[in-house]
Structure 1
Amino acid sequence: MANITLKGEACKTVGNLPEINKKAPEFQLLTPSLEKVKLSDYSGKRLILNIFPSIDTNVCATSVRNFNQRAKDLNNTEVLCVSRDLPFAQKRFIEAEELKEVKMLSDFQNQQFGKDYGLEIENGPFKNLLSRVVIVVDEDGKVLHSQQVKEIADEPDYLSALKTLL
Structure 2
Amino acid sequence: MTTFIGKPVTLVGPHLRVGDQAPDFVLMANDLTLKSLNDFGKKRKVISVVPSIDTGICDTQTRRFNQELADTDNMVVITVSADLPFAQARWCGAAGLDGAVTLSDYYDHAFGKSYGLLMREWNLLARAVFVLNESNEIVYVEYLDNVNEHPNYDAALAAAKSL
TM bracket, shorter-chain basis: over 0.9
Instruction: Give the stretch that moved more between structures: 38-47 or 8-17.
Output: 8-17
Alignment of 1:76-87 (within 5 A): 76-87=74-85
Unaligned regions of 5+ residues in structure 1, if any? none
How far the C-alpha of 1:56 sits from its partner, in A, is 1.6
TM-score by length of 1: 0.91
Partner of 2:36: 38
Map of 1:131-150 to 2, 5 A cutoff?
Answer: 131-150=126-145
Partner of 1:151: 146
8 Å CA contact retained: 1:43, 1:141: no
Partner SS state of residue 164, structure 1 = helix
Asked if 1:163 corresponds to 2:158, the answer is yes
The offset of 1:7, in angstroms, is: 3.4
SS at match of 2:59: helix
Q: 2:26 aligns with which of 28, 31, 43?
A: 28
TM-score, normalization: structure 2?
0.93
Aligned equivalent of 2:15, options 14, 17, 20: 17
Q: Distance in 2 between matches of 1:101 and 1:89?
A: 15
Indicate the RMSD between aligned Cα atoms, in angstroms: 1.3
Amino acid at match of 2:135: D
Structure 1 ranges of 4+ moved more than 6 A: none
Residue 159 of structure 1 deviates from its aligned partner by 1.3
For 1:31-88, what per-residue CA distance to the aligned partner results, in whole angstroms no more than 9, with x for missing partners? 1000111001112100000001111211111111111211124221100000010000
Q: What amino acid maps onto 1:128 in structure 2? A: N
Aligned-partner residue type, residue 98 of structure 1: G
Residue 63 of structure 2 corresponds to: 65
Instruction: Count residues in correspondence.
Output: 161
Separation (CA, whole Å) in 2 of partners of 1:101 and 1:48: 15
Contact conserved, 1:14 with 1:119, CA < 8 A, in 2? yes
